[in-house]
Amino acid sequence: MIETVHVDDHLIVVDKPAGLLAVPGRGEAGRDNLATRVAAAFGDALVVHRLDRDTSGLMLFARGPEMQRRLARAFAEREVDKRYVAVVAGLLADDAGTIEAPIAADWPNRPRRIVDARGQPSLTRWRVLSRDEPCDASCAPPTTRVALEPHTGRTHQLRVHLAWIGHPIVGDRLYGPAAPQSAAARLMLHASRLAFVHPARGERVVFDSAVPF
């Protein structure tokens, strides 16, 4: 099943559920993925970008190679406005900020990534949407809901950057603590907005997806 947000002759926008691979993976389990489902419904659909398996939200597909080239170029040249919403562990002290830290592969612990001076330059902007009220030890650990704008598009960038500043995304079993945040039913990260200039019409288009948590 595909939850389609927008379809025209040039592109397709769909809402990916958490837990579904964006593209084919290894083995039998990797055969079911969003790209395969979309291609089955739209024979000319081609992948433009990816989301992590456990991230939900908007994914863009091109219709045909020429549209794929144009849209991929827009991503590469940072002409696509990508926004996410996440719930992170702890209470962020500031209301907004920027995380600028290079990211590299953690080769002995793949698929993990790490902040490393030899890595690729990576920049994330964040803004607090709401915070839990302070509470005593009998309450659940406090969290902060944040809006995120990745200026670069590194693998696991948002997850790595937030863990690096001491506020891992709730439900992140790869970068979060063993408990209690990792006990959440899902990774609390959702791709909520895509905005860009339509590759054929030349007009700016904006697509939004309601946050499911």
Helices (H), the chain: 34-41, 65-76, 157-164
Which of 15, 52, 54, 172 is the catalytic position? 52
Q: Is residue 188 within 8 Å of residue 158, measured between CB atoms?
A: no
Residue 22: count other Cβ atoms within 10 Å of its Cβ. Answer: 17
How far apart (Å, rounded) are the C-alpha atoms in residues 155 and 134?
33
Residue 169 Cα distances to 17, 122, 165, 178, 190, angstroms? 17, 18, 11, 12, 11
Distances 148 to 129, 135, 159 between C-alpha atoms, Å: 10, 26, 11
Please say if 52 is a catalytic residue.
yes
Residue 193: what residue type?
R
Angle value at C-alpha 116, between 114 and 117, nearest 5 degrees: 165
> How far, in Å, CA of 9 to CA of 65, rounded?
13
Q: Active-site residue numbers?
A: 52
